[in-house]
Amino acid sequence: MMYLQKNFNYLKFREDLSFRKIAKETGINTNTLQILSKKHDENMRIEVVLKLADFFQVSLDEFVKKDLTTNF
């Protein structure tokens, strides 16, 4: 999951979203979101990654494999 952490932080910042707002909308625990924002986690559950990709309206492939900071 090459760009997962970077893309998550970028999209969160771009949309000016709090962990709390993302957690409320996705059902993902805020602790999980904070961990993702601070470190690259190869063991992140696919369900979490799918929910986040859906939330940010990007494909799973783009979310994990593409550097979105260069595309927006």
Give the tens place of pLDDT for each residue, 41-52. Answer: 677 899 999 999
Residue 22: its pLDDT value, please?
98
List domains and CATH numbers for the chain: 4-62 (1.10.260.40)
In angstroms, the CA 43 to CA 72 distance is: 27
Q: Comparing 34 with 71, which gets the higher pLDDT?
A: 34
Q: Are 19 and 34 in contact (CB under 8 A)?
A: yes
Quick one: what percent of the chain has pLDDT higher than 90? 86
Q: Alpha carbon 67 to chain centroid distance?
A: 12
pLDDT, position 52 = 98
Q: Kindly give, in sequence order, each residue whose CB lies less than 8 Å from that of residue 18, ignoring residues fewer than 6 positions away.
A: none
| pTM exceeds cut of 0.95 | no
3-state secondary structure of 29: coil
